[in-house]
Structure 1
Amino acid sequence: MSSTARGTADRVWSVSEHLDNILRQLRPLEPIELQLLDAQGCVLVEDVTVPVALPPFENSSMDGYAVRTTDTQGATDEHPAVLTVIGDVAAGAGELPTVGPGEAARIMTGAPLPPGAEAVVPVEWTDGGTGSLARAIGMRAASAEPVGAEVRVHRPAAPGQYVRARGSDVAAGELALAAGTVLGPPQIALLAAVGRATVRVRPRPRVVVMSTGSELVPPGEELAPGTIHDSNSFMLTAAARDAGALSYRVGAVVDDAETLRTTIEDQIIRADLLVTSGGVSVGAYDVVKEALGDQIDFRKLAMQPGKPQGFGFVGGERETEGESRTARVPLLALPGNPVSSYVSFELFVRPAIRTLMGVEPVHRCSVRAVCEGGVTSSPKGKRQFLRGWYADGRVTPVGGAGSHLVKALAHANALIVVPEDSVEVADGAEVDVVLLD
């Protein structure tokens, strides 16, 4: 047992003390340069400015005809403006025809506005021209309209109508994304649009999850007497992914200290954080305590569920690119009952993951809500976290307080917090609620 563990073996920690102790010892991961798609979900560590205006040129927002506005004044269905079509302008076109008085150029969406043109009239405002405009639009300029053809315009066009101005999205030199932004699909699109192929970010933490227990059988396999399906490792791996991490599930480890030590040593190379479930209490087969008692501080917390917890660092020297370096990886040891394990994840592991990412908020959102039905029995001196369903400022307890009730957990979207000094909550009283959605 470590000196820290010996000094705290009999101490009862509060939830806040345990969490603060964990977060004080964690630092955001070092930034790296990643390709855009690899950076999804990561946190930007640099301000990104726009090198060129977006869009970089005036272009059409409609399929139709580029025209001079004076040539369409007074146009109606009865008295259309008749214009000579001088050519086609497709998206990506380099050489552009110049639109003179009484002329129009057939234009496709996204194509640059040709010189002389001031607006675009949609094809729906015209007779479609002498050529087969509808077919050409569908084929995207597969056949050009014959020069000298005419188009009849039935409505007048205003200057700039259906024209996307240069820089109308973002101007050159403008801030596109600020450091601290989490990169989702829209942010990836903006980076690509301004020409960035790579970006500097804090990587998503690699979280390795393993459950312990000789009684655990993978889903899909038949249960023998005395065995249960392993749900914790699936739940915690999914929860780590939901928190923003790259999560890896390891199959359940049997109750053997040497096997667990070997498994952890094998996994450290791909982990920024290790999470175990089970084996942290005071039973004869608490394998995590047996295997890691000299590295991990095992604590008793004043909470229900989730009294037994463990935190510390494992690992040592690691060979990287020819150099030996210290690679101590944080490990959070959670209790084995499913509800205890999940509540512990939300309170301690999720904030740890968000801290490694360098992203706010670290914690789940908490609100005040009216408790419908109340809580009749809460252990004095412990902070209780009950499953609940929250909607429109009201929360209702779901299931009982048992830490094995997985169904109740699956039907909850919040945790009802009952303070340490309360043994009950009256029907209609306000409580703190941690939102899980």
Structure 2
Amino acid sequence: MNHGCDEFDPNQLTVEQALERILETVAPVSGRERLHLRQALDRVLLEPVVATFDVPPHRNSAMDGYALRAADLGTDGTRLRVVGRSMAGAPFEGRVGAGEAVRIMTGAVVPEGADTVVMQEQTEREGDEVVIRGNHREGANIRHPGEDMRAGSTVLEAGRQLNAADVGLLASLGIAEVTVYRRPRVAFFSTGDELRGIGEPLGEGDIYDSNRYTLDALLARLPVERLDMGVIPDDLEAVRKAFREAAAVADLVLTTGGVSVGEADYIKTVLEELGQIGFWRIAMKPGKPLAFGNLGQAHFFGLPGNPVSTMATFVLFVRPALQRMMGRSPEAPLRLRARVLNDLRKSPGRKDHQRGILRQEGGELVVETTGLQGSHVLSSMSRANCFIVLPRGSGPVASGEEVEVLPFFGLL
């Protein structure tokens, strides 16, 4: 039986089943690169990083103040003779003896003989003496060797996508270069005789090719190599040629358009001829006409042509697949609960992702739709900051009910 685009098909894969099948199929790309830290941000480690020395490498002060012996502290007002100072990069060379103290700065080496640092706000300087106010425990305000990282310990696991804090950590260990997975190569193009490039005049029935720019922007958020293959006309030989060229150079081939019921079936025909189809439909709105398979060694995604569907399927399926190919574990998007402020239309059968605006109001999270929810309404996606996620088996939702939301932060 041929099910139309809006008709319920109980045999379609669920969103969860489709993602599971995708992640079972894709694997990290082969190949490695050796990169300097300045080029390593967002790249994925191929090998674990092991500390070769303790961090910090020596006892150092957590405060500006005075290093002293706890045994010298008595009642409030203890007086000690200041015999020197220890600065970051210029440590005190002597030893702190009985009745002595050393002026010390944050990060400076704690001198031999001292076992406590008293912060300067609890002291009074009088010439070459310091008066200690209050009570202080032995060992206060001292950072010990290896407190942050121990020599021989794994500090970053293989498969870690490096963030700014990781880059700083590596620098603190004196590591200038790391080994990472090479970037997956992604070839992408749009299909359709009606598509025109920006700057070209529009004839009757023509539209500008927005999806290719959207895909380029979505891919730019990931450490992948982007290969823009342009616009492919609705022509069997043109599609065949484009697929062959893309599969020869890419790890993943990404198209938009040409996968919905009623459209020219060139993509399906060529995919069956040159590769294999994993699945062609899923129980999701928007995004039902999602194709997944392979073209030789390259993975293939055929995304719907409607702009909102393109973005939804990229976020939920292509992004996690690329994360796996990058060498890391796919990151499950953050999901929250919020009270919806308007009625939501919904029919059972497909998992629905409606565009919403999430905000905090009176100490709680609330969400409302952006208006028209058609998969062609690009402005509703531009105004949104989240998806309102409605389960496959659910029906309409009344204002005031609690719903699941998927924020766009970091995704679009």
Matches within 5 A, 1:56-135: 56-70=57-71, 73-74=74-75, 76=77, 81=79, 83-86=81-84, 88-93=85-90, 96-123=93-120
The counterpart of 2:231, out of the listed 253, 261, 266, is: 253
For 1:14, give the aligned amino acid: L
2:212 maps to which residue?
233
Distance 1:429 1:100, change over 3 A: closer
Q: TM-score, normalised by structure 1?
A: 0.71
Tell me the alpha carbon deviations over residues 322-371 of structure 1, each in whole angstroms, 9 at most, x when there is no partner: xxxxxx11121112110121122233212322332454455435567665
* Alignment pair present for 1:416 and 2:394: no
Q: Is the 8 A contact 2:373 2:380 kept in 1?
A: no
Distance 1:116 1:299, change over 3 A: closer
* In 1: Cα distance, 2:395 partner to 2:114 partner: 77
2:55 maps to which residue?
54
Q: CA deviation at 1:52?
A: 2.7
2:143 maps to which residue?
164
For 2:318, give the aligned amino acid: V
Matches within 5 A, 1:265-414: 271-281=250-260, 288-289=267-268, 292=271, 294-295=273-274, 297=277, 299-314=280-295, 328-361=297-330, 363-365=332-334, 372-376=341-345, 378=347, 381-390=349-358, 392=364, 395-412=367-384, 413-414=386-387
* In 2: Cα distance, 1:124 partner to 1:430 partner: 51
* In 2: Cα distance, 1:377 partner to 1:331 partner: 31
Secondary structure in 1 matching 2:280: strand
Tell me the alpha carbon deviations over residues 15-37 of structure 1, each in whole angstroms, 9 at most, x when there is no partner: 44544443332123347464445
Distance 1:372 1:60, change over 3 A: closer
Secondary structure in 2 matching 1:23: helix
Matches within 5 A, 1:166-181: 166-179=145-158, 181=160
* Alignment pair present for 1:29 and 2:29: yes
Tell me the alpha carbon deviations over residues 380-424 of structure 1, each in whole angstroms, 9 at most, x when there is no partner: 6554433234565765433233111112112330143352x6664
2:169 maps to which residue?
190
Q: Which moved more, 1:31-40 or 1:396-405?
A: 31-40
Structure 2: give runs of 5+ residues left out of the alignment: 1-8
For 2:301, give the aligned amino acid: L
Q: Which moved more, 1:41-50 or 1:332-341?
A: 41-50
Structure 1: give runs of 5+ residues left out of the alignment: 1-9, 131-149, 316-327
* In 1: Cα distance, 2:403 partner to 2:88 partner: 59
Secondary structure in 2 matching 1:355: helix
Q: Is the 8 A contact 2:65 2:119 kept in 1?
A: yes
Tell me the alpha carbon deviations over residues 285-321 of structure 1, each in whole angstroms, 9 at most, x when there is no partner: 6764576552353834454333433333235xxxxxx
Identity of matched residues, %: 37
Tell me the alpha carbon deviations over residues 201-232 of structure 1, each in whole angstroms, 9 at most, x when there is no partner: 5555443433334544555x475444444332
1:141 maps to which residue?
none
* In 2: Cα distance, 1:208 partner to 1:197 partner: 32
Q: CA deviation at 1:57?
A: 0.8
Matches within 5 A, 1:208-223: 208-213=187-192, 215-217=194-196, 221=199
Q: Which moved more, 1:105-114 or 1:17-26?
A: 17-26
For 1:333, give the aligned amino acid: G
* In 2: Cα distance, 1:112 partner to 1:338 partner: 59
Q: TM-score, normalised by structure 2?
A: 0.74
Secondary structure in 1 matching 2:83: strand
Q: CA deviation at 1:187?
A: 3.0
* In 1: Cα distance, 2:70 partner to 2:188 partner: 66
For 2:257, give the aligned amino acid: G
* In 2: Cα distance, 1:19 partner to 1:56 partner: 46
Q: Number of paired residues?
A: 389
* In 2: Cα distance, 1:422 partner to 1:122 partner: 61
Q: CA deviation at 1:40?
A: 3.5
Q: CA deviation at 1:277?
A: 1.2
* Alignment pair present for 1:207 and 2:208: no
Tell me the alpha carbon deviations over residues 167-190 of structure 1, each in whole angstroms, 9 at most, x when there is no partner: 222344445344554432223333
CA RMSD of aligned residues (A): 4.1
For 1:189, give the aligned amino acid: G
Rg comparison, structure with higher value: 1
Distance 1:295 1:18, change over 3 A: farther
1:146 maps to which residue?
none
Tell me the alpha carbon deviations over residues 97-125 of structure 1, each in whole angstroms, 9 at most, x when there is no partner: 22334444443332212222333344555
Tell me the alpha carbon deviations over residues 260-288 of structure 1, each in whole angstroms, 9 at most, x when there is no partner: 65555565576432221123346676764
For 2:41, give the aligned amino acid: Q
Q: Which moved more, 1:63-72 or 1:345-354?
A: 63-72
Q: Is the 8 A contact 1:61 1:109 kept in 2?
A: yes
* In 1: Cα distance, 2:399 partner to 2:166 partner: 45
Distance 1:44 1:399, change over 3 A: same
